[in-house]
């Protein structure tokens, strides 16, 4: 005749069985989860690739290895933010930052890009090592007061997230030559071509591009947040 056990009795029997297994392992002097030392593998540290060309082909360099001095870095820049402050390479020196491109009168993707980027801001709001730079691609219209109103509408935090304006040629030059923004493979862009892209770029403490993300994708923002946390672990 089969014996039916109630749930409490089943849990008691399982606990007794587990205790016996542990006791046997302890008395035998061998851990049940023990593996031969030769089979234990050390996990390689995670790292992010480097991007040094407009085709965004990743260059992988193992953690701890020397990064070539020739690796692409963002060229010098100097712009004005929504508070009238000058923002340059010195502002982000030694910091990790995200760069993107927008304009305040954009009726399409820009509001979505800004709202998605705010998630990144809020994730690192109290972390002074993380900065956001949003460049206006219509700087002749987006002066500091206009950017200030936009900032208030979207919850842009002063000192954390800089909305940038300045000389149009300078913005477009650093956008295309520095961040490789709006560059299609095999298609040359002139200085007069309007710049508009949903790409957001992650830049490390030494001004090197380490990630590219589609700003309209919430999942890509999750990836960016995770990559920023990973990048923070790299030695400066």
User: Please, are residues 152 and 181 in contact by the beta-carbon 8 Å criterion?
Assistant: no
Question: Phi and psi at residue 214, in whole multiples of 5°?
Answer: -80, 115
Query: Which of the 8 DSSP states describes residue 133?
Result: E
The reported pTM is 0.78
Per-residue pLDDT band at 19 (split at 50, 70, 90)? low
CA angle, 139 as apex, 134 and 144 as ends, to 5°?
Answer: 75
Q: How remote is the C-alpha of 161 from its chain's centroid?
A: 14
Tell me the C-alpha distance between 172 and 191, whole Å.
7
24 pLDDT higher than 50: no
Average pLDDT score over residue span 3-22: 46
Tell me the C-alpha distance between 99 and 200, whole Å.
6
184 pLDDT higher than 80: no
Per-residue pLDDT band at 195 (split at 50, 70, 90)? confident
Q: What is the pLDDT of residues 97-142, one digit of tens each?
A: 999 999 999 988 899 999 999 999 999 999 999 999 999 999 999 9
> Which domains, from first to last, does the chain contain?
50-55+73-232 (3.40.30.10)
């Amino acid at each position: 005749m089969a014996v039916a056990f109630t749930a409490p009795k089943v849990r008691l029997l399982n606990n007794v069985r587990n205790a016996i297994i542990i006791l046997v392992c302890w008395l035998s002097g061998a851990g049940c989860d023990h593996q031969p030392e030769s089979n234990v593998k050390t996990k390689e540290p995670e790292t992010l690739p480097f991007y040094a060309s407009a085709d965004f082909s990743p260059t992988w360099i193992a953690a701890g290895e020397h990064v070539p001095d020739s690796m692409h870095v963002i060229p010098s820049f100097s712009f004005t933010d929504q508070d009238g402050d000058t923002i340059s390479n010195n502002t982000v020196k030694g910091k990790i930052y995200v760069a993107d491109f927008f304009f305040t009168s954009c009726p399409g993707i820009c509001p979505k890009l800004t709202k998605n980027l705010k998630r990144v801001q809020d994730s690192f709001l109290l972390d002074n090592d993380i900065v956001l730079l949003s460049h206006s691609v219509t700087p002749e219209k987006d002066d500091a007061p206009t950017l200030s109103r936009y900032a208030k509408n979207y919850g842009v935090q002063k000192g954390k997230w800089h909305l940038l304006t300045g000389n149009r040629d300078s913005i477009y030059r650093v956008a295309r030559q520095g961040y490789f923004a709006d560059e299609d493979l095999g298609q040359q862009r002139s200085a007069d071509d309007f710049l508009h892209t949903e790409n957001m770029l992650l830049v490390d403490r030494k001004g090197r591009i380490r990630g590219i993300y589609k700003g309209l994708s919430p999942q890509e923002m999750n990836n960016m947040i995770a990559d920023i946390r990973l990048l923070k672990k790299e030695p400066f």
